[in-house]
Amino acid sequence: MLSQSSSSPLDPLSDVLEVLGARVTRRTCLEAAGDWALSFPGMDRLKFVALLRGTCWMQIAGRAPHPMQAGDVCLIGTSDYAVSSDPTLTPEDGRPLFEGPGRDLARVGGDETVSIGGTVTFAGPNADFLLDMLPDFMPVQRRTAGADAIATILSLMSQEIERHAIGSGIVGARLADLLLVETFRAHAEQAGPAACGWFGALLDPRIGRALQTLHADVARAWTVADLAAVAGMSRAAFSAEFSRRIGQPPLAYLRSWRLTRARRRLVRGEATVAEVALAVGYQSQSAFSQAFLRHFGVSPSTDARAQAGTVTP
């Protein structure tokens, strides 16, 4: 599981990935040559695709085909997608190539093009908090500023695939986790602080400062005026800019994150409902339970029992 050092200052991306239990749970390799096109269905997960050799096209519903070259990487949200040698080809269902235990390597005609893929899953039922704020396609080209680390990781992953050495499973898993974070970073730098969306908000000097402060002390009785003061903005301007970038008002975001953190702790059995309520900023168990029920459609105790076993300790 992705984790952060307790000695490092908290940042919202680390906080969210840690609480949601994001991890690369499966790594695959596709080798292909000639004319080929494969489609894959959308799921409640993230998927990364990194090209080690050759070229290919990524096709996401509602978007123009995107060319990829060796060294490029992309993250795909919950949308259906296809990968091909030519975007005009009709894709075949790619799932049978990887179905079944041990079927993590597929070859279609040769190895002119070699890509690695990873499925990013989340512990428990809270993935929507992040997935709903992300674009459905996040490409990062090898020439993008901040992609040097990605190039290094891809080189190491390529070497690891070829070595077949002892311990390759754990090394590959750790490299995949690093690749995920570096892709997030590079995409954020590529989009820049002016972009709408969560990543743009994180990089914005004012909204980003408010987000970092909020995540660092989620239990505080924040008001919009408090957060606006942290951002150095007027209350009205801060609320409008926060809502424009993230798609929800500041206190709605805070409430959603508080309940997401609480849900994680309850499912893991770390504390009682009353203890968790206090830890995330609710002054009474009753107020917390009502907010939880409105947000998730079920009471905290009922949800914890239903989700028991879905979160890795």
Rounded alpha-carbon distances, angstroms, from residue 114 to 27, 154, 200, 247, 257: 13, 12, 32, 38, 39
Residues 206 and 176 in one domain: no
This prediction's pTM: 0.83
Residues 269 and 172 in one domain: no
DSSP strand pairing (105-108 vs 55-60): unpaired
The whole-number pLDDT of residue 164 equals 77
Residues 236 and 186 in one domain: no
The whole-number pLDDT of residue 53 equals 94
The whole-number pLDDT of residue 7 equals 42
Q: What is the pLDDT along the chain (313 residues), one digit of tens a residue?
A: 444 444 445 689 999 999 998 888 888 999 999 999 999 998 878 898 999 999 999 999 889 999 999 999 999 998 999 999 999 999 999 999 998 777 889 999 999 999 999 888 888 788 889 988 888 899 998 887 767 888 888 888 888 877 778 888 888 888 888 988 888 888 888 877 877 789 889 999 999 999 999 999 999 999 999 999 999 999 999 999 999 999 999 999 999 999 999 999 998 888 999 999 999 999 999 999 999 999 999 999 999 888 765 555 4
The whole-number pLDDT of residue 300 equals 94
d(CA 182, CA 313): 25
Range of the domain at 219: 199-307
Residues 141 and 240 in one domain: no
The whole-number pLDDT of residue 195 equals 79
Residues 161 and 30 in one domain: yes
The whole-number pLDDT of residue 313 equals 45
The 10 Å CB-count burial string (b at 16+, else e) for 80-95 is: ebbbbbebeeebeebe
Beta-bridged to residue 138, according to DSSP, are 75
Domain boundary among 134, 168, 191: 191
Residues 35 and 141 in one domain: yes
The answer to the question of residue 275 being in a domain is yes
Residues 37 and 160 in one domain: yes
The total number of structural domains that make up the chain: 2
d(CA 119, CA 75): 10
CATH number (domain holding residue 139): 2.60.120
Domain boundary among 156, 191, 226: 191
Rounded alpha-carbon distances, angstroms, from residue 4 to 96, 136, 172, 232, 286: 37, 26, 19, 28, 33
The answer to the question of residue 122 being in a domain is yes
The answer to the question of residue 46 being in a domain is yes
Domain boundary among 161, 191, 221: 191
